Amino acid sequence: MVDVTLWAGLVPLADSQKHLSVQASTIRELLRKLQDRYPGLEGPFKNEVAVAVNGTIYRNDWSQEIPDGAEVFLMRRLAGG
């Protein structure tokens, strides 16, 4: 199981839950399962989300594997300069 923390903006779209547990081995699987559970997340997941896996932030590489017991944060994608 992976423990996922949502950024505040996503919480209202996920039944007001900030922390969730999901069985997933890649970022893609994780996002798909969350979206299945909470269809409201589909919009933000399209191009607003970045995923921190054990502290490393991924913005595109949804094939990235999630080690068992990893700590995952869903963050807003930010602009750079």
Binders of other proteins among 38-57, rule CB under 8 A? 52, 54-57
Q: What is the DSSP letter of 59?
A: S
Which one, 36 or 61, has the nearer CB to other proteins?
61
Integer CA distances (angstroms), 62 to 12, 16, 17, 31, in order: 24, 25, 23, 9
Q: Decide if residue 73 touches other proteins (CB under 8 A).
A: yes
38 vs 58, beta carbon nearer other proteins:
58
Contact 76, 48 (CB under 8 A): yes
Nearer to other proteins, 32 or 52 (CB): 52
